[in-house]
Amino acid sequence: MEYVLMFIAAVFVNNVVLAQFLGICPFLGVSKKIDTAIGMGLAVVFVLTVSTLFTFLLQKHLLNPLGLGFMQTVSYILVIASLVQLVEIILKKVSPALYQALGVFLPLITTNCCILGVAILVIQKEYNLLESIVYAISTAIGFALALVIFAGIREQLAMTHIPSGMKGTPIALITAGLLAMAFMGFSGIV
């Protein structure tokens, strides 16, 4: 039951992009079409889960025992960048079609602060390995859900009449704010 509550809280109540404001750049930049939002969301789910696993193990089995906790951020960035490059190389060799579909999104994931933020939050909240993985998957699903919903709204907005001063970024920011307020409605659940 504890993991179900953690899942619900990470996806809806404490959504990483709408409540914690991590990953805003890809949220606003890749959310113009549902197809690209789904691709980015799936790539974030994979990379966030695997990078959280690696950074957790790095922290617990190397940085903490050697007293190198101050190297956390630098080492996490290196792990995330290396992991994204490794995934890109493997996808290029194993599945060129999937590489073509996700190829544009993988470099964006390297600079997504959501990935680094979750890796650090897992250590700060003192989760164990299973809790860390559940939290990472839940957070990534929450990011993907918010991204796809936002992309759907933006596609609908593209077909409506919007005053010229509100087109583009202004209406996107207002829409993101309204979506964040809608997700705040889930705060009484957990």
Q: Write the CB contacts of 102 (distance below 8 Å, at least 6 apart in sequence).
A: 39, 42, 43, 91
Amino acid occupying residue 177 = G
Nearest residue to 153 via CA among 40, 28, 42:
28
Residue 139 pLDDT > 80 = yes
pLDDT tens-place string over residues 43-64: 889 889 999 999 999 999 999 9
pLDDT tens-place string over residues 107-136: 778 778 899 999 999 999 999 999 999 999
What's the CA gap between 111 and 15, in Å, rounded?
19
Q: Report the interhelical angle of 169-184 vs 129-158 (nearest 10°).
A: 130
Predicted TM-score of the model (pTM): 0.88
DSSP 124: H
Domain residue spans in the chain? 14-183
